[in-house]
Amino acid sequence: MVVGLDGKRFIFVRFRDKAWAAEEPVEISPESATRFLWALFNLGQSGKPFVATYLADDFGSNGESAAQLINAFYNAIRHNPNTKAESFFSEWRSLFEMVAGYDTVRSKEKLTKLAELYNISTSLINPPALLFAVHTYYAVFMKFLAAEIISFFHKLPSPTQRILKASNKAKFQDEINELERGALFRHFNITNFLEGDLFSWYATSLNTEIEDGLRTLVRKLDEYNPGTLSEEPGRSQDLLKDLYLQIMPREVRHDLGEYYTPDWVADLIFDQIKFSGDADRRVLDPACGSGTFLVAAINKIRSRYQANREEMKFDEGTLLKKILANVVGFDLNPLAVLAARANYLIAVRDLLSYVDSIEIPIYLCDSVVTPAEYGDLFTGSSATARVPCAAVKPPFLLVPKEVGKNASLVAEYTEAIEHSLAVRLTGEQFLKQCRDRDLPIGVENLHRELYEVLRRLEGEGKNGIWARIIKNAFAPLFAGKFD
């Protein structure tokens, strides 16, 4: 980056893709001066900038880590799956077949190009397992990326550095478990980044092949400098979309019904509907994909805030609270939800320290089917609502409607379930905990039956996500109205 200064204004000029690009001059302000200082700081730092095209080149289908890890995940899920891996695979398959269509997901012909891309034999191809392996690779990369960026901005030890220093398999396993448990995100009270995550299965199936692939990915990611994101903290982009387009061939994506919106189209649409970045207007993307529209909305809100900083009557903490309350996404694809959460988190990375707790408002749910499928929680005749769950027969959980009066009640109820399972409470002890929390459990047998189903899954090594999936499933009913 080159920076010009005339005593009143900065001008920032970048050289990328063999061309110089000059931005409009900006007045000297605390924000522009901070950006200038970050640019100076990064002059003395090694590492590539976090740019979507660079990430796509290094970690896409042409990169070293993609084929290595996708093959490792594919072999593990086909040949040596444990009960947790099988359970998460089944749930992913159930959800993804709703998104993409049963026949498409299981079509060998349509996924031949994907197999060829990663040097996998097409004669014995297992289409769902291959797709799950690709999705797991993309999900793992997103977790590493988000963890690296968040730790850098808040001066915590680099996750990639810790993993690189893991000298044996036991230490490596510990570091991977720490990442998958979300310890870093919980440190900042980011409560739901990994909520409903179906791609952590590999941590319980870690073998030499997977470990080698992960080490390759981490070594390449360590070549990047997260500080480059600080040069323009108020402006973000969908960092992950270009990578996904590289990982999945165009023909395969379109067969799966996946079409991704270019950033310029999102900006154009917001201009056409005259959304100028008012932080009090509510924006919903009910099929958010990787979060392109959500990131564009956040950019507009932040740009308006920076341009009118002196006139605004609220600080950065209130700004983040408004964004979290008013920029919301839903998607039924577990991979899309994780990608959108990662992009959302990156878009507000420098604001995280201004609030005590963060729930990223992106939920794994069906924004179209939910009200009809589950019925009205308040007036429906049945005492329970059905939440799809591929791990049980029939494939749904029966959730007592009396805990569904509002979002906070559902959240507290699912937290009580998770805690009770973690400390191995009996059904009766779970009910006592609910009473202690003043949760409504008038129809006790319904709550006991739900808990015993989840307890059985826990005993079979198949639990870990179902309580959070219950919480996410009801999100559309409590999201309120949008502008």
Tell which wins on pLDDT, 237 or 354: 354
Q: Are residues 408 and 453 in the same domain?
A: yes
Return the pLDDT at 462: 62
Return the pLDDT at 68: 93
Q: Are residues 147 and 65 in the same domain?
A: yes
Q: Which helix (H) or strand (E) holds 457?
A: helix 444-459
Q: Are residues 66 and 151 in the same domain?
A: yes
Q: Are residues 30 and 65 in the same domain?
A: no
Domain containing 19: what range? 1-44
> Which SS3 state, helix, strand or coil, does residue 146 take?
helix
Number of C-beta neighbours around residue 249 at 10 A: 16
Domain annotation covers residue 234: no
Q: What is the CA radius of gyration of the chain?
A: 23
Highest mean pLDDT among 111-115, 221-225, 445-449, 473-477: 445-449
Mean pLDDT of 179-194: 83
Return the pLDDT at 265: 92
Q: Are residues 186 and 125 in the same domain?
A: yes
Indicate the burial class of 362 (C-beta count within 10 angstroms; 0-12, 13-18, 19 or more).
Answer: buried
pTM, entire model:
0.78
pLDDT digits (tens, 9 = 90+) for 240-258: 788 888 888 888 887 777 7
What is the DSSP track for 294-313?
Answer: HHHHHHHHHHHHHHTTTT-S
Q: Are residues 125 and 23 in the same domain?
A: no
Q: Are residues 14 and 94 in the same domain?
A: no
Mean pLDDT of 333-360: 88
Q: Could you give the number of structural domains in the chain?
A: 3
Mean pLDDT of 115-128: 83
d(CA 278, CA 266): 16
- Mean pLDDT, the chain, whole residue set: 81
Cα angle 52, 57, 63; round to 5 = 135
In the block, which residue shows the tokens 């392109």? 292
From the centroid of its chain, how far is CA 364?
10
